[in-house]
Amino acid sequence: MKSLAYFPETDTLHITLSSTPASGGAENAGAEGEHQDMILSYNERDKWVSITIENASKGVDLNDILSGYGTIIRGKTEVIYSISELADKLDMTPRALRQIIQSMRASGIEVGEQQGGTYPLILSEQDKKKIVQWRDEHPKGRILSLRP
């Protein structure tokens, strides 16, 4: 299912290129990941399945999307964040936040909401609290054991 969706609450544009799930991972666009607002997701065969553009109104002409050529998804009335917005609020990189979320999920903690494997992750205030608590309980850096 190929689609185009704009999430006004997070200013995120999501372009689905394939019905194949993004099981291979995701990365920021650019040779060195310098395009932090553009996330390319791919499948296990390294084929691109979606493109997510955060802060879309800054880099995309949304007139066509808002005039009916795309799907406008109306969200909840609560405060929600994109990965880059929440990363900025928590003074970390989007990549670091994605790694924390991945660790939390691996530990069985549900965080974020996603309509499908190729859609952007939407984070709530409750998710923000969980992430802050996780960071408090799991400080960055490594603790080295001192052996006599």
Separation CA 108–CA 106 (nearest Å): 5
> By the 8 A CB rule, do 10 and 80 touch?
yes
CA 69 from centre of chain: 23
pTM of the model: 0.49
More confident residue, 19 or 51: 51
Per-residue pLDDT tens digits for 66-103: 555 444 554 444 567 778 888 888 998 888 898 999 99
134: pLDDT strictly greater than 90:
yes
Any idea where the domains of the chain sit in the sequence?
A: 3-137
Report the distance separating Cα 17 and Cα 1, nearest Å: 8
How far is the first Cα of the chain from the last one, in angstroms, to the nearest whole number?
Answer: 60
Q: What mean pLDDT is predicted for residues 40-61?
A: 85
Output the DSSP codes for the chain.
--EEEEETTTTEEEEE--SS---SEEEEESTTS-EEEEEEEE-TTS-EEEEEEETHHHHS--HHIIIIISEEPP--SS-EE-HHHHHHHTTS-HHHHHHHHHHHHHTT----B-SSTTSPPBEEHHHHHHHHHHHHHS-SS-PPPP--
Res 144: pLDDT: 47
CA distance 13 to 61: 11
